[in-house]
Amino acid sequence: MTKQKELVKAIIEGIQEKKGKGIAVVDLAKIEGSICSFFVICQGNSPQQVEAITDSVEETARQKAGEKPVRVVGRENALWVAMDYTDVMVHIFVPDAREYYNLENLWDDAPIEMIPDLD
């Protein structure tokens, strides 16, 4: 497993740990001019859950993949938190913001893997 895919797997685990929903992994590796190789997009039901997911992703990625984010923005209001792991970007939204920005559809030609929600 590549380092990037190992990181994506750890990020997904961190999201699922706090019951994040609607996880989408957008593979940008073959898209010319893309800013990273993967987008991982998910949502929490409230700013509090978005904050908890952010903390869980940070901890799980550090423990399981040995990675720390270069930068995390959006924690102040926790409506949309972006975590930059250089080759992997994590976007954690509240539902309204996710619908509004619709990041999954920025790259129509990129493969998207939807991860089933855990109950």
91 HSE (CA, 13 A, CB side)? 18
Q: Which long-range contacts (CB under 8 A, 24 or more apart) does 28-36 make?
A: 28/107, 28/110, 30/110, 31/107, 31/109, 31/110, 34/107, 34/110, 35/89, 36/86, 36/87, 36/88, 36/89
What token pair was written down for 103? 């990041």
Q: Which is more confidently placed, 84 or 34?
A: 84
Of 119, 115, 53, nearest to 80 by C-alpha is 53
Task: Indicate the average pLDDT of the chain.
Answer: 95
Q: How many degrees, rounded to 5, is the angle at CA 49 between CA 45 and CA 51?
A: 135
Of 30, 18, 11, nearest to 88 by C-alpha is 11
The string of pLDDT tens digits covering residues 17-49 is 999 999 999 999 988 888 899 999 999 999 999
Residue 15 has pLDDT above 80, yes or no: yes
Residue whose pair of structure tokens reads 């904050």 in the numeric block: 51
Q: Which residues contact 69 (CB under 8 A, 6 or more apart)?
A: 58, 61, 83, 84, 85, 90
Global pTM reads 0.95
